[in-house]
Structure 1
Amino acid sequence: MDVKTPKSSSNGFTTEITLEKLHKMAAELILPGRFILRLLTAALEVVTNLLARVFGSTLVRRHFHLLLSGLVLFGPVLSFWVSKYNIFANSHHYLYRKFLKSTWGWTCIFAGSFILLLSLSARHSFSISLRHLSRIGIAGLLWWVCQRLLTFLEDAAGTCYEPMATAQDLQASATPLQPLLLLHEDQTKASCLKANMLWRGYEVSQDVLILCLCCLLLVEEMSVFGHHLSPGKPQQRSPGAPLRFIFLLCVVLLALWMFLLLCLLANFPKWPSQQLGGALGYLGWRGLYQGWYRLRPRWGCPGLPGEGIFTTTNTDKHPQ
């Protein structure tokens, strides 16, 4: 019994030293981690303050739609200088497959998160948050209606053709003329392309439409963040790192949508279907943010971004 006592005390002493060493090591690691975290937080505040000032400026709020319109109109001209062998000339590129077909989904997630965090940070009112989130739902409903209507019009105005020659014959043929085609009138565009046949008809680029609509929507929603950062505005809670981070992600998403739009126009120019898609996207934004959302609440409108959060009247509206 006397022999085991020193061992027990010795083990307890060793355990105490080990825990003390671990505590010191953790303290040494925590100090640099806190310094890096503070540095990243300061950088996030500086970057988001600058971006909020840019998107909240009158220049961006009044003329961003003109910049987007110029991009849609003159973007196809870049096809004369863009190489057809660049990585973005492949329609199966990763960006096209992962982002282009789910443009509205990404926009809904990031813009909805930003609206929710912004409204909860400024006002602790769930009803106000739902009212502002309804703008995303209304825009999504508009996009769904446009999709169904454009698909119906394309199926009604187009025609499906089946080539009489095989694919090998078409590749071996040196003449640029199309071979004789057999007509299929009972096919839709989706079923025609799925059967590896040719579709001819009028169409409106739905990709350009949703990209333009999402870009304009993101700019409208982000433009009020600078108002939230104003020191003279009454607010219950200062914007934290999660709200600033979501705002930064929205800016990155906007840059990605504009880049994808430029890639589509430069590598796959389709006149005038892309311009018609851009025009419909602009009209959708104009009808919502410059029309319906400016009406009084009795018309069932959710109001403009920031209305009811920073202002109680309709005086703080976006400039025309």
Structure 2
Amino acid sequence: MFFNTVLVVLTDLAARFLGSAIFRKHFHLVLSVLVMFGPALSFWVSQHSVFAKKTHFLYRIFLRSGWGWTCIFVGSFVFLLSFSIRRSISLSIRHLSRLGVAGGLWVGFCKLLDLLENTTGSCYERLLNSPEVTNGQPLLVLREGASKSECLRAGMLWRGYEVSEDVFLLCLCCLLLAEEIAVFGPYLKLGGFSGGPLRILFLFCVLLLWLWIFLLLCLLAYFPQFPTQLLGGALGCLSWRGLYQCWYRLGPSWYCPGRPGQGLLNTKTNEAAAEDKLNHNQCN
């Protein structure tokens, strides 16, 4: 009973905060500020910290599979919420299709970024035995005709026009999480059924959102790469704006899955209003 009470209190507070108009309007601005000024944290953090190593388990377990973790938790929450309201598989699939669209966009952009880096890049070989050193680093000799894969397999360096895919992914996942789970607050206000499994999934999604924000700050502070990280963050924000602020606002149709909660919260509101009207007429 105690743990259930704690769960209800925590999820109610988180749902009220994430569903508030202030959070919905300004979260993307806060994320943009973090990406722009986050590299400045490198002047204060210690490079001897455990987070300064790319082998840290948070990077290995979560960052490399960031989209998978997002799909698992957000997909489970969206499906359980939509199915518990309408009991319609087709409606649940329509809401889940937003994850498929975002995943396709993520894969497509990654392939385009790899193509851009391959097209604009060149292969360099380190001269480890060279007596000439520039800025504490050995000289690099250009190797013509090598592709990126061949260059990396040979142990050489590939330098090209890069956009940080990690920052792009984290920004996109944060904004997607904020959009998808923000409907839980209005859902609770309407008196929707909120059992333990749904609240636990919601809480996991909230924790995942904070984890992505933390990993984003770690990348910006311990591995600053300007302007590649800024471009990655901008691409993530533009992807979110194109999907959730433009396309999904067109409404549910064969070519558009609609916004989070559309067809769920509106339907519940209408049903509740109709029931209140019916009760009022019966009393009269």
| TM-score, normalized by the shorter chain, greater than 0.5 | yes
Number of equivalent positions: 268
**Contact 2:133 2:139 (8 Å CA) reproduced:** no
Distance between the aligned counterparts of 1:216 and 1:43, measured in 2?
27
Instruction: Work out which of the two has the higher radius of gyration on C-alpha atoms and give 1 or 2.
Output: 1
Distance between the aligned counterparts of 2:67 and 2:140, measured in 1?
40
Give 1:42 deviation, angstroms.
Answer: 1.1
Distance between the aligned counterparts of 2:98 and 2:250, measured in 1?
14
Give 1:87 deviation, angstroms.
Answer: 0.7
Distance between the aligned counterparts of 2:17 and 2:260, measured in 1?
17
C-alpha deviations, 1:216-275, integer Å up to 9, x for none? 000000110011111x45x5xx11100000000000100110000000000000000000
Give 1:156 deviation, angstroms.
Answer: 0.4
Match of 1:205 in 2: 164
Structure 1 position 248 matched with structure 2 position 195: no
Q: List alignment gaps of at least 5 residues for structure 2.
A: 269-284
**Contact 2:95 2:258 (8 Å CA) reproduced:** yes
Structure 1 position 259 matched with structure 2 position 219: no
**Contact 1:162 1:184 (8 Å CA) reproduced:** no
AA in 1 matched with 2:183 = V
- Of residues 49, 65, 69, the one that matches 2:32 is 69
Distance between the aligned counterparts of 1:207 and 1:297, measured in 2?
31
The share of aligned pairs that are identical, in percent, is: 56
**Contact 1:132 1:303 (8 Å CA) reproduced:** yes
C-alpha deviations, 1:64-114, integer Å up to 9, x for none? 000000000000000011111111111111111111111000000000000
Change in CA separation of 1:83 and 1:172 when aligned onto 2, cut-off 3 Å: farther
C-alpha deviations, 1:4-47, integer Å up to 9, x for none? xxxxxxxxxxxxxxxxxxxxxxxxxxxxxxxxxx1111110110
- The RMSD of aligned alpha carbons is 1.9
Match of 2:194 in 1: 239
Distance between the aligned counterparts of 1:293 and 1:213, measured in 2?
16
Change in CA separation of 1:112 and 1:175 when aligned onto 2, cut-off 3 Å: closer
Moved more, 174-183 or 220-229: 174-183
AA in 1 matched with 2:124 = Y
SS in 2 for 1:199: strand
SS in 1 for 2:146: coil
Structure 1 position 125 matched with structure 2 position 60: no
**Contact 1:68 1:212 (8 Å CA) reproduced:** yes
**Contact 2:15 2:184 (8 Å CA) reproduced:** yes
Normalising by structure 1, what TM-score?
0.80
AA in 1 matched with 2:105 = L
Match of 2:227 in 1: 272
Q: List alignment gaps of at least 5 residues for structure 1.
A: 1-37, 314-320
What pairs up with 1:81-230 in 2 under 5 angstroms? Answer: 81-163=44-126, 165-166=127-128, 169=129, 176=136, 178-188=138-148, 190-230=149-189
**Contact 1:162 1:197 (8 Å CA) reproduced:** yes
Change in CA separation of 1:229 and 1:196 when aligned onto 2, cut-off 3 Å: same
Moved more, 292-301 or 215-224: 292-301
SS in 2 for 1:291: helix
Distance between the aligned counterparts of 1:170 and 1:147, measured in 2?
36
